[in-house]
Amino acid sequence: MMNNKHTIACLLCAFLQLNAFAQKNVSKGFALAQKQTDVMLSAIDQAKSSGSTGVTPRSLSANGDLALVPSKDWCSGFFPGELWFLYQYTGQEKWLKLAKTFTAFIEDQKTNGGTHDMGFKIYTSVGNGYRLTKDPHYRDVIIEGAKTLSTRFNPKVGCIKSWDNRIWKFPVIIDNMMNLELLFEATKLSGDSSFYKIAVTHANTTMKNHFRADYSSYHVVSYDPETGEVLKKQTHQGYGDESAWSRGQSWALYGYTMCYRETGDKAYLRQAEHVAKFILDNPNLPQDLVPYWDYNAPNIPNEQRDASAASVMASALYELSTYSTNGKLYRSKADLIVKNLTDHYAAEPGTSKGFVLLHSTGSRPANTEVDVPLSYADYYYLEALLRQKHLADKKPVVD
């Protein structure tokens, strides 16, 4: 009996220590994010006064200036999403007003059928706005965006087309898994099951064709739009066609975890667990769990890191930890990632035009956005912090 009491006491002590660690890390991360976002807002005003026509920040230019992008850019929704996260964490009216203002800049994308990035743009901004306010206007924008995204679905292929006007007939990239959440939400809001069916079909086709035997993912799979035949499997942002581009692996982990949440299909849970194993057991994953830009990059350890891949991975692992029997492992790894990002990859207050994290890699093969801050690294970092806090508070990581 005494042994049992001692064991319970030890477990309780460990649990309290874990939660204290989490709350401290979350507090530190959001304190920096608030300070940096104030810096960012000033930098945005300065960029616009200098002639920039962009609406939200994406990165820094080669000379260190803030790079603003128009609403059509795939990264446009991330900064509004960060503002929603700041409002969620603080409850402050200041962040609510700013979130509404910057979200309004993105809403015109609900009818842009020339891109697959509807989820990245609309769901990160408008989706978070609806989640936190239940504004019926945001509901309508989400449904309209889902209708637009659905026009890119080819039933013969079983996927949503990613890019237009490229060298491929019908390219599908692993990133596209992240846009399915918008479709799942639209079915819940509208009662129209067609969005759900498209999302599931896309996820199943991607699971069949995008993954190797070790559960690493190709970046691009090219299909014949007339027959649905797979024409080629390759990369666009990774080191080589048979390499594992790190952010792509994180997109896959996040995407299939989300698909399991939305469907309850155990095949998606198993897929997410397999991808997690590939990542976490990879011999080229650094000790701090912040990946190099590609797990097979030729000059490891002298290669650039990708903090954005780490942020996406951490956020996904927190959610996956609530579904999987490996949950304790996943949560501990996510805790380590966010601690290392907070302690070693964060910008000094007042610097970097207000970005929170440094050392991300956009496209190393194109030599663009290499070792720079990126808006989506900050977005998923803040989401990971919120999920860490929810676990410490014993709340669902997804509202």
pLDDT one-digit tens code per residue, 268-325: 999 999 999 999 999 999 999 999 999 999 999 999 999 999 999 999 999 999 999 9
pLDDT tops 50 at residue 11:
no
pLDDT tops 60 at residue 144:
yes
Closest residue by Cα to residue 289 from 280, 297, 298: 280
The number of beta carbons lying within 10 Å of the beta carbon of residue 322 is 17
- DSSP result, 295-349: TT-TTTTSS-B-HHHHHHHHHHHHHHHTTSTTHHHHHHHHHHHHHHHHHHSBPPT
Please tell me the distance from the alpha carbon of residue 134 to that of residue 137, in angstroms, as a whole number: 9
**Burial zone of 399 (CB within 10 Å; 0-12 exposed, 13-18 middle, 19+ buried):** exposed
pLDDT tops 80 at residue 143:
yes
Closest residue by Cα to residue 214 from 152, 168, 277, 161: 277
Angle made by CA atoms 392, 393, 397, in degrees to the nearest 5 = 80
Catalytic residue among 38, 73, 117, 399: 117
pLDDT tops 60 at residue 15:
no
In tens, the pLDDT along 336-378 reads 999 999 999 999 999 999 999 999 999 999 999 999 999 999 9
What does the pLDDT read at residue 6?
Answer: 58
Catalytic residue among 175, 294, 306, 378: 175
In tens, the pLDDT along 72-101 reads 999 999 999 999 999 999 999 999 999 999
192 is catalytic: no
pLDDT tops 90 at residue 10:
no
Count of helices and strands (H, E) across the chain: 13, 9
175 is catalytic: yes
What domains are there in the chain, each with its CATH number?
19-392 (1.50.10.10)
